[in-house]
Protein backbone atom coordinates (compact mmCIF):
# COMPACT_ATOMS: atom_id res chain seq x y z
CA UNK A 1 0.00 0.00 0.00
CA UNK A 2 1.43 3.36 -0.97
CA UNK A 3 0.49 6.42 1.03
CA UNK A 4 0.68 10.09 0.33
CA UNK A 5 2.37 12.15 3.02
CA UNK A 6 -1.04 13.67 3.80
CA UNK A 7 -2.86 10.40 4.54
CA UNK A 8 -2.29 8.68 7.87
CA UNK A 9 -1.31 5.04 7.60
CA UNK A 10 -2.82 4.52 11.04
CA UNK A 11 -4.96 6.96 13.07
CA UNK A 12 -3.10 7.64 16.31
CA UNK A 13 0.13 6.26 17.69
CA UNK A 14 1.09 2.57 17.80
CA UNK A 15 4.24 0.71 18.82
CA UNK A 16 6.82 -0.17 16.20
CA UNK A 17 6.85 -3.97 15.92
CA UNK A 18 9.85 -4.19 13.61
CA UNK A 19 12.12 -2.23 11.32
CA UNK A 20 14.65 -2.91 8.58
CA UNK A 21 14.68 -3.85 4.91
CA UNK A 22 13.74 -0.25 4.14
CA UNK A 23 10.59 -0.05 6.24
CA UNK A 24 8.62 -0.65 9.42
CA UNK A 25 5.95 -2.94 10.86
CA UNK A 26 3.28 -1.62 13.24
CA UNK A 27 -0.38 -2.25 14.13
CA UNK A 28 -0.50 -5.37 11.95
CA UNK A 29 0.68 -3.35 8.91
CA UNK A 30 3.92 -2.71 7.13
CA UNK A 31 5.24 0.35 5.37
CA UNK A 32 8.24 0.73 3.10
CA UNK A 33 10.04 4.02 3.73
CA UNK A 34 10.43 6.42 6.63
CA UNK A 35 7.69 7.20 9.18
CA UNK A 36 6.46 10.24 11.05
CA UNK A 37 4.42 9.38 14.15
CA UNK A 38 2.40 12.19 15.76
CA UNK A 39 -0.78 12.23 17.86
CA UNK A 40 -3.02 12.39 14.76
CA UNK A 41 -1.48 9.29 13.18
CA UNK A 42 1.38 7.43 11.58
CA UNK A 43 2.35 8.99 8.26
CA UNK A 44 4.65 8.13 5.38
CA UNK A 45 7.60 10.53 5.69
CA UNK A 46 9.63 11.43 2.58
CA UNK A 47 12.92 12.00 4.44
CA UNK A 48 15.56 9.39 3.59
CA UNK A 49 18.80 10.89 4.97
CA UNK A 50 19.72 12.81 8.13
CA UNK A 51 20.27 15.92 6.00
CA UNK A 52 16.57 15.86 5.12
CA UNK A 53 15.52 16.16 8.77
CA UNK A 54 14.56 19.83 8.66
CA UNK A 55 11.95 22.07 10.23
CA UNK A 56 9.96 21.81 7.00
CA UNK A 57 10.14 18.00 7.08
CA UNK A 58 8.89 18.14 10.69
CA UNK A 59 6.09 20.65 10.00
CA UNK A 60 3.43 18.16 11.14
CA UNK A 61 5.27 17.76 14.47
CA UNK A 62 5.24 21.52 15.01
CA UNK A 63 1.57 21.71 14.01
CA UNK A 64 0.76 19.20 16.79
CA UNK A 65 3.31 20.54 19.30
CA UNK A 66 0.68 21.15 21.96
CA UNK A 67 0.25 17.38 22.30
CA UNK A 68 3.95 16.41 22.14
CA UNK A 69 6.54 16.63 24.93
CA UNK A 70 9.30 14.57 23.32
CA UNK A 71 10.30 13.86 19.72
CA UNK A 72 12.38 10.76 19.09
CA UNK A 73 14.34 11.08 15.86
CA UNK A 74 15.73 7.95 14.23
CA UNK A 75 18.73 9.03 12.16
CA UNK A 76 19.21 5.83 10.17
CA UNK A 77 22.11 3.49 10.95
CA UNK A 78 24.52 6.07 12.35
CA UNK A 79 24.30 8.63 15.13
CA UNK A 80 24.21 12.25 13.97
CA UNK A 81 23.89 15.63 15.65
CA UNK A 82 20.73 17.64 15.20
CA UNK A 83 21.29 20.95 13.44
CA UNK A 84 21.41 23.77 16.03
CA UNK A 85 18.67 25.74 14.22
CA UNK A 86 16.35 22.72 14.32
CA UNK A 87 17.13 22.07 17.98
CA UNK A 88 16.24 25.71 18.69
CA UNK A 89 13.00 25.43 16.69
CA UNK A 90 12.03 22.41 18.81
CA UNK A 91 12.90 24.29 21.99
CA UNK A 92 10.68 27.19 20.91
CA UNK A 93 7.85 24.69 20.35
CA UNK A 94 8.49 23.27 23.86
CA UNK A 95 9.41 19.87 22.41
CA UNK A 96 12.41 18.00 23.82
CA UNK A 97 14.36 16.06 21.21
CA UNK A 98 16.36 12.85 21.38
CA UNK A 99 18.17 11.76 18.22
CA UNK A 100 19.54 8.21 17.97
CA UNK A 101 20.09 5.60 15.27
CA UNK A 102 16.67 4.36 14.14
CA UNK A 103 16.72 1.10 16.10
CA UNK A 104 17.34 2.85 19.41
CA UNK A 105 14.87 5.62 18.63
CA UNK A 106 12.13 3.12 17.78
CA UNK A 107 12.78 1.13 20.96
CA UNK A 108 12.78 4.23 23.14
CA UNK A 109 9.62 5.48 21.43
CA UNK A 110 7.93 2.14 22.23
CA UNK A 111 8.88 2.32 25.92
CA UNK A 112 7.72 5.92 26.26
CA UNK A 113 4.47 5.19 24.40
CA UNK A 114 3.83 2.25 26.73
CA UNK A 115 4.38 4.57 29.70
CA UNK A 116 1.68 6.90 28.34
CA UNK A 117 4.12 9.70 27.58
CA UNK A 118 3.33 12.38 24.99
CA UNK A 119 5.92 11.15 22.49
CA UNK A 120 6.25 11.52 18.72
CA UNK A 121 8.78 9.94 16.38
CA UNK A 122 10.46 10.74 13.08
CA UNK A 123 12.14 7.54 11.92
CA UNK A 124 14.38 7.15 8.87
CA UNK A 125 14.04 3.75 7.25
CA UNK A 126 17.13 1.53 7.24
CA UNK A 127 18.01 -1.35 4.92
Supply the CATH number for residue 49's domain: 3.40.1230.10
In a domain, 3, yes or no: no
Polymer length of the chain: 127
Contact 49, 9 (CB under 8 A): no
Residue 119 phi/psi, 5-degree rounding, is -110, 145
What is the rounded average pLDDT for all residues in the chain? 93
Residue 110 lies in a domain: yes
Total of domains in the chain: 1
Q: Is residue 2 part of a domain?
A: no
pLDDT tens sequence across 65-103: 999 999 999 999 999 999 999 999 999 999 999 999 999
Q: Which range marks the domain in which residue 38 is found? A: 8-123
Q: Give the C-alpha separation, 87 to 72, whole Å.
A: 12
Q: How confident is the model at residue 3 (pLDDT cuts 50, 70, 90)?
A: very low
C-alpha distances in angstroms, 20 versus 12, 15, 50, 76, 105?
22, 15, 17, 10, 13
Is 1 inside any structural domain?
Answer: no
Domain contains 90: yes
Amino acid sequence: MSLSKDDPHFPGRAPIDGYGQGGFRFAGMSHRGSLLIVPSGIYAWPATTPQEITAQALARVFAEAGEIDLLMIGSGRDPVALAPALRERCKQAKISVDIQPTGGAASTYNVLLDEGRRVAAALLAVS
